[in-house]
Structure 1
Amino acid sequence: MSDALEHADFSPRAEPRLVPVRLTSETERAVQRFPTAVRRDVRRLVRSSPRIADLALVFPGALYTLAARRGTLASRLHARSLVEEGAQLKSVARALDLPMWLRRLPPEAFETLPLALPKSEAFGRRIASRMPMAARESAFWLESVLFAEKACHEDFAIWLAGQHIFADHGDAEKLIAVVAAYAWFSGHPEMAAHKLIVVPWRPEIAFDTALCAAKSWFNRMRLVLQLPPGVVTDPWLKTGPALGYTFEPLLNHTDILAEAHAMQNCADQYGERIVRDKCRLFSVKRNGARVATLEIGPHQREAGVLAINQLKARHNMAASTEIWQAAYTWMASQQALKRLPALGNSERIFDQDAWRTLLAPYRDARSGAAWFDRDASHLMFAGFDADLADLARRGAVSSWLFT
C-alpha cells in the first residue's frame, strides 16, 4: 500500500460528493438515537449509501464502528465494500472484529466500544436473553458487561447482565470492581484472599447475597490490612474472670477472624471501628469455649463512660441472662470505665505488603487490575464503600452493611 493511500482520510468527511441518500423517517429516527459525539459522522455515512443506511436499523454497532473509526483503516474499508456488495452481516461483523451479539443492541448503547470484546459462541448465545430492558439503559449495561468480563470472566459478565441495576448511568469500573474481584477469587480456593470469603460467588447466586458477600469480603480484607498484631494494644478494659466466664480482648485480625468463624457472627466487620477507637471486642469464654462476643463502646448518653453496646451468643442469638450477669459483674470490677472520647480520627495505617500480596494473583490474571490502587488507603476504601452502597440502592438491597 502506498504512503499516500496509507495516510488518506477515508472518514465520512472524505467521501466523494454524491447525491445524498434520502433517509426514511425510520432511519432518521435511528440516526437521532446515536450518541451526540458520533451522530454527525453517522448521518454522513448513511446519506452516502442506501446499504450503509440499512445498518442503522439492522446493526447499529457496525455503523458506530465505521463512524467512530474503531479498528484499522483496512478493516473499515473492507467492511464497507462488503456492505455495498450485499454480504451477510456475519461477514461484515467479522471484518470489523465485532461479535454478532452486539447486533441486538440499539444505537443508544454505543457511547464507546473497546477493541477487546467477548466473542465466544457460548457467550453470544447466553447474553441474548439478558439484553437491557430499555434503550436508555443500554449504554451503561454494555459498559458494565464489558468491564465485568475484563475484571472477572464471561460467567460473571453473563450474571451481571441479568441484574436490574442499570436504570441510572454510572461508572462501571468503580461500581463493579469489588464484586468482580470477589467473584474471581471465589473460583480460586488456593489463594489467601479466597480464605476471607464466607459465601463464594456462583452463577446462580442472588444479587443481594452476592453483594453482601462481596462487601463482607472486602471488609475482611480491610481488617487484615488495618489490624495486624501490635497495631492496637490498648483493650480499654482488663482481661479477667467473672462468675465462671472469662473476657478476652480481640485486638488483631487473627483473633477477630477466629472469633467470627467460631461464633458465626459479624465480628470481622468491625475492623474500621476498632482502629478509629469507636469500640473494642471481647470474646466471652466458659471453660475455654467461646460462648458470646461482647462489644464495648462509649455510653450513648454519658460522655466519657464505657458501656456494653452488644452481647451476642453464637449466630447473633441473644445471650443468656447468666452471661449478661457475668458481663456486668466483670464490668463492675474494672477500674477504667471512664474514658475520654478520642480527639479526631486516629491515623489509619494499612499493611501495604499484605495488600499487594493478597491482590497479586488477581492483578497478574487481569492485566494489572488498575481499578484497584497500588497502595491501600482510607480514601480508596471509602470510595468503594460509597460505590457498593450505590450498587445496593440500584439493586434494592437492604442491609446494615451499606449504612
Structure 2
Amino acid sequence: MSQATQLLRRRSDARRVAPLPPLSDDHANYVARFTYPARRDVRRLMRSSSRLADLAIVFPGAAYAIASRHTPLELRKAAIAQVEAGEALKTVAATLGLPLWLRRLPPEAFDQPIRALPHSETFTRRIASRMPADPAHSATWLQAVTFGTRACSDDFTLWLADQSIYAEPGDPERMFGVLASYAWHSRAPQTRAHSLIVVPWRPEIAFDTALCAAKSWFSRIRLTLQLSHGAVSDPWLSGGLVRGYTFVPLLDQHEILTEARAMQNCADQYADRLASDRCRLFSIRRHGDHIATLEIGPHAREAGMLTITQLKGRHNLAAPLEVWQAAYAWLAGQTNLRRMPPRTFPDRQFDNAAWTDMLADYRAATEGAPWLPHAANPVVFDELENEMGELARRAGVSSWLFT
C-alpha cells in the first residue's frame, strides 16, 4: 500500500470518528470555573464520558490531575479506567496520589500541579473544618497548605490552613518561608537556630504572636551573622563608672543577646542599625545587675552631635530618674560627642559560613529549603523582612517590628 493510500485511509478513519457530544450549559459553566489553561482538557474529559463528567463534579481535583497532564500518563490512564469501571473515589484518588479530602475543594483551587499532601486519617479529619468558605480564596489556600507540608509539618500545615489571610493571591514560599523555618526550628532543640528563639511556635499560638516571634527570631539571626566578634569595634563613646552605675558598650552578638535576655527588651533587634553605624548601645549596670539599656545616636536637631536617643529599663519600661541623671552625667563627661554622619554606610559582610551551618538541619529535612537564600546578605534579608511586613499587613498585625 502506497504512502498516499495510507494517508488517505487515516484521514478517512479520522472522519468516521463520531464527534464528542456537546456539554450542557450547566457543565459548560462548571468548566469555566477551572483555571483557563486547564479548561480545554477538562472540557474534553467531561465530553468523553458521563462518568468522567461526574468525576469532575464530585472530585474536581482528580479531574484536574487527569486533564492537566501533570500526572504521569500511565497513572492517568489507570485512573480513567477505574472511573469507567465504576470503582470507588478512594481507589481513583490513590492511583493519582491525591488525598481524599481534596475532593472538598472547588475547581477554583486547582491552578498549579498538585504536589504531595498529607493523607493520614487524623489530618483528613482535622483539615475538613479549615477549608476556605469562598472559592476565590481556595487556590492561595491550597498553595499554602502544600507549602506547609513541604516546609514544616502537618501541625504547621493545619495551623496555616486555619488562618484567614487568603483573600489576596500570593506566593507561599515568599509569604511563609521564614515563618515555616521558625516553626520547624521551634521543635529542633539540637540546632543553633533554636537557641535564638524566645517564643517557640506551637499549634495553638495566635497568628500575630507567631509572626512577631518569627520576625524577632529572624532579626536575632541577622544579629548573629552581622555582628560577629570584631565586626564593630568603635563604641563612639567611652564606658565608665558614674554615680555608682557602670556604662558598658555593646558591640557584638554575644553582648547584645545577653543584654536582651537580661533586660527582656528589644536590644537584639538592632543588628542593622548597629552594623550601618546609625546608633550604639550601652548596658547600664549596678553591682553587676543589668539596670537599663541606653541608645546613643545622632541628635535630631544638632547635626554632627551625639545624644541619648533612648533609655529604657527592664521590659522596655521607663528607667528610674536616678538612672537618667547618671546617664546625662556620663554623657557630659564624654570628649567625643561630635560625630558627623557617615557619607556611606560601612560594608559589613554577613557570616555565610554561620548561615549555612545554622540552616543545615532544616535544609536536610526539607529538600534544601529553596525558599531561603543560600547566600546571606543585606539585600536578601531586607527582602525577606519586607515579605514578613507584607504578611503582617495582610493579616492585620500591628507591631513596631513591621514599621
Residue 83 of structure 2: aligned partner: 83
Residue 237 of structure 2: aligned partner: 237
Residue 282 of structure 1: aligned partner: 282
Deviation, structure 1 residue 348: 3.0
Instruction: Name the CA shift for 1:103/1:260 in 2 (closer, same or farther; >3 Å).
Output: same
The question of whether the paired residues in 2 share the 8 Å contact of 1:216 and 1:269 is answered with: yes
Q: For residues 114 and 351 of structure 2, what CA distance do their matches in structure 1 show?
A: 35
Query: What's the CA shift string for 1:236-295, capped at 9, x where partnerless?
Result: 000112111111100000000000000000100001100011110000011121100000
Moved over 4 A (4+): none
In the TM superposition, 1:260-299 aligns within 5 A as: 260-299=260-299
Which amino acid in structure 2 is aligned with residue 346 of structure 1?
Answer: P
The question of whether the paired residues in 2 share the 8 Å contact of 1:21 and 1:50 is answered with: no
Residue 304 of structure 2: aligned partner: 304
Q: For residues 78 and 145 of structure 1, what CA distance do their matches in structure 2 show?
A: 27
> More displaced, 116-125 or 39-48?
116-125
Deviation, structure 1 residue 370: 1.4
Q: Percent same amino acid among aligned pairs?
A: 56
Residue 247 of structure 1: aligned partner: 247
In the TM superposition, 1:74-223 aligns within 5 A as: 74-223=74-223
Q: For residues 145 and 117 of structure 1, what CA distance do their matches in structure 2 show?
A: 8
Residue 57 of structure 1 pairs with residue 67 of structure 2: no
SS in structure 1 of the partner of residue 256 of structure 2: helix
Deviation, structure 1 residue 19: 4.2
Q: For residues 383 and 114 of structure 1, what CA distance do their matches in structure 2 show?
A: 28
Deviation, structure 1 residue 310: 0.7
Which amino acid in structure 2 is aligned with residue 231 of structure 1?
Answer: A
> More displaced, 321-330 or 360-369?
360-369
List runs of 5+ in structure 2 lacking aligned partners. Answer: 1-13
The question of whether the paired residues in 2 share the 8 Å contact of 1:306 and 1:338 is answered with: yes
SS in structure 2 of the partner of residue 47 of structure 1: helix
> More displaced, 238-247 or 178-187?
238-247
Paired residue total = 389
Q: For residues 23 and 159 of structure 2, what CA distance do their matches in structure 1 show?
A: 39
Which amino acid in structure 1 is aligned with residue 93 of structure 2?
Answer: A
The question of whether the paired residues in 1 share the 8 Å contact of 2:231 and 2:348 is answered with: no
TM-score computed with the length of structure 1 as normaliser: 0.94
Deviation, structure 1 residue 124: 1.4
Q: For residues 88 and 268 of structure 2, what CA distance do their matches in structure 1 show?
A: 57
Query: What's the CA shift string for 1:308-340, capped at 9, x where partnerless?
Result: 111011111100000000000000000011100
Deviation, structure 1 residue 167: 0.8
Deviation, structure 1 residue 47: 1.0
Q: For residues 273 and 80 of structure 1, what CA distance do their matches in structure 2 show?
A: 60
Residue 7 of structure 1: aligned partner: none
Q: For residues 287 and 115 of structure 2, what CA distance do their matches in structure 1 show?
A: 63
SS in structure 1 of the partner of residue 277 of structure 2: coil
Which amino acid in structure 1 is aligned with residue 374 of structure 2?
Answer: R
The question of whether the paired residues in 2 share the 8 Å contact of 1:348 and 1:378 is answered with: no
Q: For residues 386 and 89 of structure 1, what CA distance do their matches in structure 2 show?
A: 43
> More displaced, 240-249 or 325-334?
240-249
List runs of 5+ in structure 1 lacking aligned partners. Answer: 1-13
The question of whether the paired residues in 2 share the 8 Å contact of 1:281 and 1:296 is answered with: yes
In the TM superposition, 1:5-20 aligns within 5 A as: 17-20=17-20
Q: For residues 313 and 353 of structure 1, what CA distance do their matches in structure 2 show?
A: 35
Q: For residues 18 and 128 of structure 1, what CA distance do their matches in structure 2 show?
A: 42
Q: For residues 172 and 314 of structure 1, what CA distance do their matches in structure 2 show?
A: 37
Which amino acid in structure 2 is aligned with residue 254 of structure 1?
Answer: H
Residue 71 of structure 1: aligned partner: 71
> More displaced, 392-401 or 112-121?
112-121
Deviation, structure 1 residue 18: 3.6
Deviation, structure 1 residue 351: 0.7
The question of whether the paired residues in 2 share the 8 Å contact of 1:21 and 1:46 is answered with: no
Residue 43 of structure 1 pairs with residue 43 of structure 2: yes
The question of whether the paired residues in 1 share the 8 Å contact of 2:97 and 2:116 is answered with: no
Which amino acid in structure 2 is aligned with residue 293 of structure 1?
Answer: T
Deviation, structure 1 residue 30: 1.5
Q: For residues 21 and 257 of structure 2, what CA distance do their matches in structure 1 show?
A: 69
Deviation, structure 1 residue 209: 0.2
The question of whether the paired residues in 2 share the 8 Å contact of 1:70 and 1:115 is answered with: no
> More displaced, 321-330 or 22-31?
22-31
Q: For residues 113 and 133 of structure 1, what CA distance do their matches in structure 2 show?
A: 22
Residue 328 of structure 1: aligned partner: 328
The question of whether the paired residues in 2 share the 8 Å contact of 1:93 and 1:100 is answered with: yes
The question of whether the paired residues in 2 share the 8 Å contact of 1:93 and 1:99 is answered with: yes
Residue 27 of structure 1: aligned partner: 27
Q: For residues 17 and 102 of structure 2, what CA distance do their matches in structure 1 show?
A: 31
Residue 369 of structure 2: aligned partner: 369
Which amino acid in structure 2 is aligned with residue 233 of structure 1?
Answer: S
SS in structure 1 of the partner of residue 228 of structure 2: coil
Residue 5 of structure 1: aligned partner: none
Which amino acid in structure 2 is aligned with residue 186 of structure 1?
Answer: S
Q: For residues 74 and 194 of structure 1, what CA distance do their matches in structure 2 show?
A: 44
